């Protein structure tokens, strides 16, 4: 057990060093990590490469249609200036820039299938909400909101692999009935803290009146509900019961079909120029995301093929409670490489089929792993550095406004998973 654990820790250290100092694209870091771990654990090169190929193929099959559809939807809306319409609709209904920012990130991260994509597209709009440096708080809230929905709501690229690997017999609908109120509760708690801090500093809710171009663009979207902007998302929602009841699809097939419906709706309503831009830019962006996720599949597959779960988890369970192990293991993976999808993919692959997964109810198990992807959002997290560059804040400021709220939120979700496991009891 100790040898296998030491190899894993060395691999995570290797990945961390490459991510922070060499900074190659994440796919190459994860691929190199897979080779390092496989060869160090005693596998020969042929065994390692077969495991790598299997992991790449499995992850691509699960995510290709979903990621591509979400990326094209987002880029098509952006090409038509409809992101402003979405935010304007939310602003009229919330009446509060703090709530608007958090909810915008929360809502937009789900159909775009990427929390960073949602943030990048919302940034130009949210920057108009405050004077000078005030809009930093809105950007942080949008980031926190996007991570909470991205890590906790089905269907997102974080939760999908958790259901595929750990959710046997569980209903995505029942999971969301727990996860949506829980994630919104955490989000609104964060919003209240940000709002209280603003009041304490005497900051208002005014927008930047000196930005004439921004004001004109905002005003142009102010009348009525922007149905064309909301149409792809509404089509996805409406198609869920239609496919589920009419075709009795499994959750793996259902998510593919509803994302295609959203994609077709976005393209059908787009202008020819926006359709072309959305297809080209969305495909390029989806390709980058897919390579990173497939790299995670490769590393996870090699870890499983090495016999790590059978060698390590029985021994760990002797001194750690079973309910803690999935959370702690995922948090360790997250700290090493920073990508929440990568953490979810690797954890689902490694934990699937173990006695730990078999002993826990799938719903709190999935919540526990999802919580583990939130608690360490620090230097290895690409989102951390994107926020630091976008806001111009110090590292300490990003920690206070992004890392710390997500850590508290992750711990709260983990506590909820423990309570749910206690209420549901062991499986079987």
Predicted confidence at residue 130, as pLDDT, reads 67
Residue whose token pair is 């897979």: 34
Q: What's the CA gap between 262 and 73, in Å, rounded?
A: 7
Inter-CA distances, 317 with 36, 130, 354, Å: 26, 50, 11
Mean pLDDT, the chain cut into blocks of 10 residues (428 residues total)? 85 84 84 93 95 91 90 91 88 86 93 87 84 78 96 91 87 92 97 90 54 40 74 90 84 87 95 95 88 86 87 77 90 85 89 88 95 89 87 90 96 96 80
- Of the candidates 213, 166, 210, the one whose C-alpha atom is nearest the C-alpha of residue 327 is 166
Residue 330 lies in a domain: yes
pLDDT tens digit string along 198-220? 888 766 554 444 443 334 334 44
pLDDT of residue 218: 43
- Asked whether 348 and 305 are in contact (CB, 8 A), the reply is no
In a domain, 213, yes or no: no
Report the first-to-last Cα separation within the chain, whole angstroms: 28
Q: How many CB atoms lie within 10 A of CB 270?
A: 23
The first and second tokens of residue 164, run together, are 């595929």
Q: What is the pLDDT of residues 142-172, one digit of tens each?
A: 999 999 999 999 888 899 989 988 988 888 8
Q: What is the per-residue pLDDT for 404?
A: 97
Query: What pLDDT score does 62 carry?
Result: 85
| Residue corresponding to tokens 């919330």 | 94
Report yes or no on 68 lying in a domain: yes
Run of H or E residues at 310:
helix 308-316
Residue given tokens 């090169």 in the structure block: 45
Name the nearest CA neighbour of 304 among 334, 345, 364: 345
Q: Nearest 5 degrees, angle CA 3-CA 9-CA 10?
A: 90
What's the gap between Cα 63 and its chain centre? 13
Dist. CA 75–CA 83, nearest whole Å: 10
- 377 in a structural domain: yes
Is the CB of residue 304 less than 8 Å from the CB of residue 129?
Answer: no
Q: Which is it for the CA torsion 128, 134, 136, 137, positive or negative?
A: negative
In this structure, are residues 335 and 380 in contact, taking their beta carbons and an 8 Å threshold? yes
Domain count, the chain: 1
- Of 190, 164, 119, whose CA–CA distance to 369 is shortest? 164
Tokens for 378? 């620090």
Which residue range forms the structural domain that includes residue 390? 2-205+270-424
- Whether 417 maps to a domain, the answer reads yes
Helices (H), 95-171: 97-112, 115-126, 135-152, 159-166
Structure tokens at 312: 């390590």
CA–CA distance, 5 with 86 (Å, rounded to integer): 47
257, 261, 262, 268 alpha-carbon torsion, rounded to 10° = 150
Helices (runs of H) and strands (runs of E) counted in the chain: 21, 0
**Joined tokens for residue 178:** 């727990």
In the chain, what percentage of residues exceed pLDDT 70?
Answer: 93
Confirm whether 235 is domain-assigned.
no
Per-chain mean pLDDT for the chain: 87
Residue 254 lies in a domain: no
Its sign, for the CA torsion 118, 123, 125, 130, is positive
In sequence order, the 6+-apart residues with CB closer than 8 A to the CB of 373 are 151, 158, 330, 331, 334, 340, 343, 344, 410
316-370, pLDDT tens digit by residue? 777 778 889 999 999 988 888 788 988 898 899 889 988 888 889 999 999 999 9
Q: What is the pLDDT of residue 220?
A: 41
What is the reported pTM?
0.83
Cα–Cα distance, 288 to 278 (Å, whole number): 15
Q: What is residue 320's predicted lDDT score, i.e. its pLDDT?
A: 79
């Amino acid at each position: 057990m100790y040898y296998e654990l030491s190899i894993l820790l060395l691999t995570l250290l290797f990945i961390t060093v490459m991510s922070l100092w060499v900074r190659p694209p994440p796919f190459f870091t994860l691929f190199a990590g897979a080779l390092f771990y496989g060869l160090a654990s005693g596998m020969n090169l042929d065994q390692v490469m077969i495991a790598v190929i299997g992991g790449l193929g499995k992850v691509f099959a699960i995510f290709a249609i979903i990621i591509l559809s979400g990326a094209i939807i987002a880029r098509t809306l952006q090409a038509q200036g409809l992101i402003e319409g979405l935010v304007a609709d939310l602003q009229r209904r919330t009446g509060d820039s703090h709530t608007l920012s958090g909810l915008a990130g929360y809502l937009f991260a789900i159909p775009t299938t990427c929390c960073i994509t949602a943030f990048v597209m919302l940034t130009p709009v949210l920057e108009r909400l405050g004077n000078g440096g005030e809009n930093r708080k809105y950007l942080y809230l949008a980031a926190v909101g996007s991570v909470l929905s991205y890590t906790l709501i089905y269907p997102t690229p974080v939760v999908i692999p958790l259901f595929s690997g750990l959710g046997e017999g569980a209903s995505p609908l029942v999971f969301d009935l727990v996860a949506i109120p829980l994630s919104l509760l955490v989000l609104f708690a964060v919003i209240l803290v940000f709002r209280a801090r603003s009041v304490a500093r005497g900051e208002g809710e005014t927008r930047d009146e000196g930005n004439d171009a921004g004001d004109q663009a905002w005003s142009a979207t102010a009348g009525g509900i922007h149905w064309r902007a909301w149409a792809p998302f509404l089509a996805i929602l409406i198609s869920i019961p239609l496919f589920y009841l009419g075709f009795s699809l499994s959750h793996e097939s259902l998510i593919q079909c509803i994302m295609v419906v959203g994609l077709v709706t976005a393209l059908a309503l787009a202008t020819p120029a926006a359709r072309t831009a959305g297809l080209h830019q969305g495909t390029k962006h989806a390709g980058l995301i897919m390579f990173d996720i497939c790299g995670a599949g490769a590393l996870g597959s090699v870890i499983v093929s090495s016999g790590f779960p059978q060698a390590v988890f029985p021994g760990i369970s002797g001194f750690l409670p079973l309910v803690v192990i999935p959370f702690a293991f995922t948090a360790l993976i997250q700290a090493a490489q920073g990508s929440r999808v990568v953490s979810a993919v690797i954890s689902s692959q490694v934990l699937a089929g173990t006695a730990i997964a078999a002993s826990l109810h799938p719903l709190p198990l999935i919540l526990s792993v999802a919580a583990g992807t939130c608690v360490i959002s620090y230097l290895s997290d690409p989102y951390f550095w994107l926020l630091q560059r976008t806001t111009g804040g110090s590292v300490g400021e990003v920690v206070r406004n992004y890392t710390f709220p997500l850590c508290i939120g992750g711990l709260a979700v983990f506590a909820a998973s423990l309570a749910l496991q206690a209420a549901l009891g062991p499986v079987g």
